[in-house]
Amino acid sequence: MSETLQLMEEGAKWTNSFIFLKKKGVRVSLNCNMIQMTHVFKTYPSQITALSDITLEISVGEFIFITGPSGSGKTTLLRILFCAERPTSGEVVVNGVRITQKGFREIHLLRRKMGMVFQDFKLLQDCTVGENIAFSLEVTGHVQKEIKKKVFEILSRVGLQEREGDSVLSLSAGEQQRVAIARALVNDPPLLLADEPTGNLDDPMTLDVMQIFTDLHHRGATIVFATHDMDLIQRYPYRAIYLLKGRKVSGSA
């Protein structure tokens, strides 16, 4: 087994035992990082520097907000963690994998442990609501009967069970956002990256979605939640990192 695969298995074992203990109601505090970013810079080909010298550690099982005004680098940071963007320099380790040095196969395996809610949803426009969610279960090898059940359950959780057979094009922005959330959550990921996931939702729906994320967090998942909504952040007891023009201006490493 290659060194990388071994590291990934070890990372997965850590995460799984942590989640197991949390589910059993055991209070666990592990000095173990899900994410470690060290001196990360990102400059786009347009010469815009979106991230500047970011060093950040996020523990296994932590819920953390990434905040800052529009253009401060929140989306870039999440896209780097999801391996959708490579940093220009610096090092990024996610669940034991040094992603800055890895190829497609390792990244593909790592992504199975992540759910990502994209700011622009990234739904398959010519598919139904149900198909968009079923697709993530098919790629992770679930059988049809199980897929049907899980799709229904997660759509009920976000209040869209009656829209399963509808085209995503017929949905409002808020409804599309809820489908994107359902798709990210359906595999019960140990790591959830959420980019402004409540940006198109009204207050009651925002509270519902926060409850879903809080439940996932209580089951042991690590949650990285980008939002510019300071009121929302103040309602929850979680650590917040504040970005300004790509620099981390507050929040501990």
Residue 115 contact partner, candidates ligand ADP, Mg ion, none, CB within 5 to 8 A by sort of partner? none
What's the DSSP call for residue 27? Answer: -
Q: Which stretch binds ligand ADP (CB under 6 A): 68-76, 89-97, 198-206, 209-217?
A: 68-76
Residue 81 contact partner, candidates ligand ADP, Mg ion, none, CB within 5 to 8 A by sort of partner? none
By CB under 6 A, is residue 47 in contact with ligand ADP? no
Specify which residues 63 forms β-bridges with.
223
Residue 73 contact partner, candidates Mg ion, ligand ADP, none, CB within 5 to 8 A by sort of partner? ligand ADP
**Burial code of 169-196, b = ≥16 C-beta within 10 A, e = fewer?**
eebeeebbbbbbbbbbbbbebbbbbbbb
Question: Footprint of Mg ion on this chain (CB under 5 A)?
Answer: 74-75, 119
Of the pair 88, 167, the CB lying nearest ligand ADP is at: 88
Measured distance CA(162)–CA(216) in Å, rounded: 23
Residue 46 contact partner, candidates ligand ADP, Mg ion, none, CB within 5 to 8 A by sort of partner? ligand ADP
Chosen residue from 2, 29, 70, 252 binding ligand ADP by CB under 6 A: 70
Radius of gyration over alpha carbons of the chain, in Å?
A: 18
Which among 206, 211, 149, 157 has a CA at the least distance from the CA of 179? Answer: 157
Residue 29 contact partner, candidates Mg ion, ligand ADP, none, CB within 5 to 8 A by sort of partner? none
Q: Would you give the distance in Å from CA 54 to the centre of its chain?
A: 18
By CB under 6 A, is residue 71 in contact with ligand ADP? yes
Of the pair 119, 206, the CB lying nearest Mg ion is at: 119
Number of CB atoms found within 10 A of residue 43's CB:
15
3-state SS record for 66-92: EECCCCCCHHHHHHHHCCCCCCCEEEE
By CB under 6 A, is residue 75 in contact with ligand ADP? yes
Measured distance CA(53)–CA(62) in Å, rounded: 22
**Nearest residue (beta carbon) to Mg ion:** 75
- Site track for ligand ADP across 48-67, x = CB under 6 A: x-x-----------------
Q: How many residues bind ligand ADP (CB under 6 A)?
A: 12
Of the pair 50, 134, the CB lying nearest ligand ADP is at: 50
Let me know: does 157 contact 188? Beta carbons within 8 Å.
no
By CB under 6 A, is residue 136 in contact with ligand ADP? no
By CB under 6 A, is residue 73 in contact with ligand ADP? yes
Helix axis angle for 144-157 and 173-185, nearest 10°, is 130
- Strands 33-43 and 97-98, how do they pair? unpaired
Measured distance CA(75)–CA(98) in Å, rounded: 20
Residue 128 contact partner, candidates Mg ion, ligand ADP, none, CB within 5 to 8 A by sort of partner? none
Of the pair 58, 154, the CB lying nearest ligand ADP is at: 58
In the complex, the residues that contact ligand ADP under the rule CB under 6 A are 44, 46, 48, 50, 68, 70-76
